[in-house]
Amino acid sequence: MKLNPRGTTVVAVLSCACLAAGCSTLPSKSDPQALRSFEGSASSQAQGPQPDRAPDLLIRDFFAASAQPTQQYQLARSYLTSDASSSWNPDSTITVVDRLDVNLAQGQDNSTVLTEDPASSSVDNAKSASYKVSGLVVGQIEVGGGYTPKNQELNETLELEKVDGQWRISSLPNSIVVERSELRNRYSSHNVYFFEPSGNTLVGDRRWMFSGSSSLDTALISLIIEGPSDTIAPGVLNEIPSGASFAGVTDGVYQLTGVAKLNDDAQRRLAAQLVWTLALADIPGPYHFAFDGVNVASKSGSTELTVEDFAEYNPQATNGTVSSLYAIRNGQLVQVSNDRLNPVTGQLGQLTNVESADMATQTSTFAAVTATGEGDSKESRLVLAGQDGAVAEILKAKTLTRPTFEYGANSMWTVLDGKTIARISRSAGSGEIAQTTVDTSSLGDNVGAISVLRLSYTGVRAAFIIDGHVYVATVSRPNAGERKLTNVQEYLASNNLQAVSLDWQADGSLVVGTASQDTPVWRVEQDGSSAQALPASNIQAPVVNVASTNSVVYATDTRAALELSTSGSGSTFWREVQGLEGVRSIAIVPH
């Protein structure tokens, strides 16, 4: 059963001159805040309709022009009649389609909808015409620049008429529709950073921004003050007071007001958000900030802030590069080191019926699922093991998905019998184990079995597979010790992935293994806005396991454990993992 998840997003800091006041503003969920001009350079913009343009081509030109939001879509309005331009009030969201089809409309009696000159039945000589615009909607961008995947049909009707011998659009919906290729041409994506709930790690909140903007820095700062996107908001820490605002730049100092009431730790976290967001958007530092008129200083007292002042919060400092690789080979959990295999330490390394496993590098803790029997008599057990390899059985069920650790590794998740997500926690004080159930009510009733579940590196998002479809949800915390899946979105619904396996990459993207022979492995962007099929030349679906580091993707196909370098070598061939040749194995990358 396919889910019907809700989702939200936000139109980038698109441009947006305030016509009445003559100022540039940032579209947001609250009152707009004045920023520097968002005008793109005039030389980079098209000059408006071409003379004697055919009506279908004029419509296509109009949609291309709609990807430039400057001056309240002034360029796009040049394709409209005067009355249509005055009345057109497009939504603040942007609908993204795979491609647009433009066809002359047909009446109910299948007659062509146009008003002709008596001398000819050709549309070239008609006075007016009606066109149908259709396409597959793959996503939506809303105020703030966030992207929400979609999978629905677009069907709109545009009316045209001739004005002084030139076709112009006289009637159209109040919407902005952009082809995905045009979105890539006109917009760029940037992460705005917020903290996960413990306040120790930054989480990227991806936003799409119009590339013609000359004020990327101020736009990003305003987005931080505005707060996280609706999609990710339930899972992150947002300490910024409701009355806070960005007051512009004075003598090179970014001025923020309404934040002085934050305590010292919260102000430091806000400064870290600002610095890392600007730095990873390639805006050169050092950076100068003032909170309610007081210059922000580093621990050393300098007001010239750089990423070095907040190195402990580096969002790129993940465990994506590992010194050791682990694997399950013939039911045994082994470490792969220098192309040699060694059973892991202790009792865990002696087990020969391990089905799946995960390792948390923060605590050197293994969680493994062992299995006995087959079919109706199958029984699975979840065991935990520390550095000494001593095994403690935690729970059992008919089936258990591969365990996955939360950030900090004090808790882990697994799915019992495809339905119940169990969260296993160890008390930091007593060391006792407690089991709770994750709230999955947002998935609806009569949902298929969850076959794979993986938490992101920060624990803020969960990705899972139901009936071959990939879903991503934000992990919220309704109360202490509780977890809930919220804002569920289906990724790549239109691609019919036939997903079998998935895992997170360190940059927040997903690797997905499928049962498709043509596209056995995909890389999916963190917001679901696009995906790339990895080389399929010598890998055979189904791909039952995937994992990755910053430079290597691992996959287990029908024959072996394979690896593909992603470090820029341009390799199109998968090769067997050194040390795991000869026997079909499952590679495990510790998180």
Question: Considering all CA atoms of the chain, what is the largest pairwise distance in Å, rounded to the nearest integer?
Answer: 92
Mean pLDDT, consecutive 10-residue segments, the chain of 591 residues?
39 33 34 33 63 96 94 95 96 94 74 52 80 96 93 96 96 96 93 96 95 87 96 96 94 96 96 98 95 94 96 78 81 91 93 95 91 91 90 94 93 96 84 91 91 96 97 96 96 87 94 96 95 94 95 95 84 91 94 81
| pLDDT on residue 111 | 52
Q: Could you tell me which CATH number the domain at 325-588 has?
A: 2.120.10.30
Residue 146: CA count within 13 A, CB half-sphere? 23
CB atoms within 10 A of CB 51: 6
Which string of DSSP letters, residue by residue, matches 68-102? --HHHHHHHHTTB-HHHHHH----SSEEEEEEEEE
Cα–Cα distance measured from residue 58 to residue 62, given in angstroms and rounded to the nearest whole number: 6
Nearest to 447 by CA among 460, 465, 461, 433: 465
Cα–Cα distance measured from residue 331 to residue 355, given in angstroms and rounded to the nearest whole number: 6
| pLDDT on residue 512 | 98
* Residue 112 identity (one-letter amino acid): T
| pLDDT on residue 344 | 92
Cα–Cα distance measured from residue 425 to residue 561, given in angstroms and rounded to the nearest whole number: 32
Cα–Cα distance measured from residue 123 to residue 101, given in angstroms and rounded to the nearest whole number: 18
**Location of structure tokens 């004020």:** 215
Cα–Cα distance measured from residue 546 to residue 538, given in angstroms and rounded to the nearest whole number: 16
Cα–Cα distance measured from residue 356 to residue 332, given in angstroms and rounded to the nearest whole number: 10
Phi, psi of 453 (to 5 degrees): -145, 125
Beta pairing, strands 176-179 & 94-104: parallel
Helix spans in 235-355 (H): 264-279
Domain boundaries, the chain: 17-187, 189-313, 325-588
Cα–Cα distance measured from residue 528 to residue 510, given in angstroms and rounded to the nearest whole number: 9
Residue 303: CA count within 13 A, CB half-sphere? 11
- Letter string b/e over residues 306-328, b meaning 16 or more CB atoms within 10 A of that residue's CB: ebebbeebbbeebbbebeebbbb
CB atoms within 10 A of CB 303: 14
Tokens for 378, please give them: 């199958």
563's enclosing H/E stretch is: strand 561-565
Q: What is the pTM for the complete model shown?
A: 0.88
| pLDDT on residue 426 | 81
In order of 142, 148, 525, the CA distances from 530 in angstroms are 17, 11, 6
User: Helices (H), strands (E): how many in the chain?
Assistant: 6, 38
415's enclosing H/E stretch is: strand 411-416
